Amino acid sequence: MSGAFGYVGRRVLVAVPLLLVVSLVSFALTELLPDPSIARLGQHATRENVAAFRARKGLDDPFLARWGRFVRDATTLEFGEDLVRDDGTTVGAGIRSRFPATFELALAAMLLAVVLGLVAGALGAVFPRRLADAVAQVFALVGASVPVFWLGFMASLLFAVKLEWLPHPDWSLRVIAPDAGPGGYATRFLFLESIARLDLGAVGRALAHLALPAMVLSTIPLAVVTRMTRATMLEELGRDYVRTARAKGAPETRVVTRHALRNALIPIVTVTGLQTGALLGGAVLTETVFAWPGLGRYVAEAVRSGNGPVVVAGVFTFAATFVVVNLLVDIAYVLVDPRLRRGGAT
């Protein structure tokens, strides 16, 4: 047990300099962003207003002084003040209030990708070069190739405009739980909290509003998981232990799910962890297309308006999430591979 703690501790320690480098590089890149005084003050501002705004926000200070201030503010997880929403709101508060929307969207997309990907990949491996395999392969290829923003517009047009099966996503307490009242849903996890409250109406509305963006966001990880599952399952199904299991008369379902699939899981889990990074990147596009009030849209809007602290803090949060998810993936190895429990993770 202490070995596991030591392992996690080492990974966390490695993450600290990594995140510092991420912050420095992304902070340097924000030098290329447009002047936030335009987004904050608009075209009608005078020279004096622009100068006062820049002085107030310390935008004319030397680069290292500004980065140092950012790192100092990052230690309190507040990341300084939002430059464009100029009402004293900290970037940390902005990120905390938007993170749940991104988390729930990413979770839904990842669940879709993993569940459908495992099923489609396993079917493809069990029935190679048959219709189910061909369909899964085509979907995987299309999913990996079609740009998310295009797919988003098309999916909206089809499901929300033409067929009217789904609403245009509107992830707001006003829509999901209109009766919650003040102080309701304090966690801001609209979907998870509506499940916890067993509010079926809210769960239904949350699912309906989640469906389109989650479907669009899941396409790339779905394609990757499907192909990876198919490839590793094909490999596993050809191994001796599978032949032995079949020879012993084990039912085919058990051979596939209990033996082959379980052994194929390690690379799938790895790829799922790595795909989380792609998913967060995809969230920037998906959230923009669907006006989803999450972290991705916050960062995308900040890039357009030159809101540097939001961009850096957003990248920082994405990086930290990526590190945490990969740490969880490492821990998941231990769960799926009993050999690692004995030898300790390396």
Partner 1 sequence: MTSTTRRALALVALGLAALPLGCGKAGPAGGASAGGRTTFVYARGKDSPTLDPAEATDGESALVLVNVYDTLVRFKYGAATVEPALAVGWEAADDRRAMTFTLRDGVRFHDGAPCDAAAVVANFERQRDLAHPFHFTAPGQPPARYPYWGDMFGSVAKTSVVDVRTVRFDFSEPMPPFFLSLLAMFSCSIVSPKALARGAGYVKTHPVGTGAFTWVGRDNEEITLAANPSWWGGKPAIDKLVFVVVPELKNAYARLESGQVDGVDNLASKDVPRAKANPAVKVHEVATGLSVCYLAMNNDRKPFDDVRVRRAVALAVDKPRLAATAYEGLATPIATLVPPGVEGHAPLADRVRDVKEARRLLEEAKAVGTKVTLRYMGNPRPYAPDPGAIAAQLRDDLRDAGLEVELRKDEWGSHLKAMQNGEHELGLLGWTPDVPDADNYLYVLLDKEGAVPPANNVSFYRSERFHGLVAAARRAYDPGERRRLYADAQRVAFDDAPLVPLVAMPRTAATAAGVEGFVLDPVSSPRFAWTSKAAQAK
Q: Residue numbers of the site for partner 1 (CB under 8 A)?
A: 33-36, 38-52, 55-56, 84-89, 94, 97-98, 156, 160-161, 164-168, 170, 172-175, 178-179, 195, 200-201, 203-209, 211, 288-291, 293, 297, 301, 304-306
What does the alpha-carbon distance between residue 13 and residue 99 come to, in Å, rounded to a whole number? 24
Which residues pair with residue 90 across a beta bridge?
81
Quote the tokens at residue 289: 């297309």
- In the complex, the smallest distance separating the C-beta of residue 292 from partner 1, rounded to whole angstroms, is 11
- In the complex, the smallest distance separating the C-beta of residue 29 from partner 1, rounded to whole angstroms, is 14
- In the complex, the smallest distance separating the C-beta of residue 21 from partner 1, rounded to whole angstroms, is 27
Q: Which residue, 168 or 341, has its beta carbon nearer to partner 1?
A: 168
Q: Which residue, 138 or 328, has its beta carbon nearer to partner 1?
A: 328
- In the complex, the smallest distance separating the C-beta of residue 47 from partner 1, rounded to whole angstroms, is 6
**In which residue are the tokens 């310390």 written?**
58
- In the complex, the smallest distance separating the C-beta of residue 196 from partner 1, rounded to whole angstroms, is 11
The candidate with the shortest Cα–Cα distance to 157, out of 282, 297, 301, 289, is 289
3-state helix, strand, coil in the chain (%, to 5): 75, 0, 20
Q: Which residue, 85 or 246, has its beta carbon nearer to partner 1?
A: 85
Which residues pair with residue 81 across a beta bridge?
90
What does the alpha-carbon distance between residue 311 and residue 34 come to, in Å, rounded to a whole number? 12
Q: Which residue, 165 or 241, has its beta carbon nearer to partner 1?
A: 165
Q: Which residue, 283 or 323, has its beta carbon nearer to partner 1?
A: 283
Quote the tokens at residue 315: 């990248």
What does the alpha-carbon distance between residue 131 and residue 128 come to, in Å, rounded to a whole number? 9
